[in-house]
Amino acid sequence: MIKLKYKLISAVMLAAPLLVNTGIATTVHASANTQPISYSQTRYSFTSFQAKLDSLVKAGVISKAQEKSILDQYHNGKIGSRANLDTQLDALISSGVIPHSKKAQILNGFTGWGSNWYIAVPNSGGHNTPTPNATNPDKNK
């Protein structure tokens, strides 16, 4: 009887990890998520934006003239987020200012910022303030 008892305990000890790993012995509890999904953007300063462009110039990715063209787009209020930067790079490529082969390298220069960032866009008073964004009302906070 004792041998049978030890064999049974040994079998259970060997089988338990297999049952847990396959999900047979696990319990799953699902509940509705009542918390709202948080949407956030990371704000960067114009100085940080310009520093990123300066590093691209130093690395030989873009020229000073190309950097100036990108900064002109910023000062005209056309670049305030990654999506805007992408769009304005397409415009600069179409106008022949920046070669298409440089677009990915420029965007990669901002990879550390993530995909959901924005910078303060200059207003007519010369101060850098965030512009209203219908898709992210918290942007101005």
Nearest Cα to Cα of residue 89 among 70, 72, 105: 70
Find, among 70, 78, 68, 65, the residue nearest to 106 by Cα.
70
pTM: 0.59
User: What is the crossing angle of helices 64-75 and 46-58, to 10°?
Assistant: 160
Per-residue confidence (pLDDT) for residue 128, from 0 to 100: 44
Predicted local distance difference test score (pLDDT) of residue 116: 82
pLDDT tens-digit profile, the chain (141 residues): 677 666 667 666 665 555 555 444 445 555 566 666 555 668 888 899 999 999 999 999 999 999 999 999 999 989 988 888 999 999 999 999 999 999 999 999 988 888 888 887 776 444 444 444 434 434 443
Other beta carbons within 10 angstroms of residue 117's beta carbon come to: 19
Where are the domains positioned within the chain?
42-121
**Exposure of 13 in the CB half-sphere (CA atoms within 13 A):** 6
| pLDDT given at position 85 | 92
Report pLDDT for 129.
42
Q: What is the pLDDT of residue 61?
A: 95
Looking at residue 100, its pLDDT comes to: 95
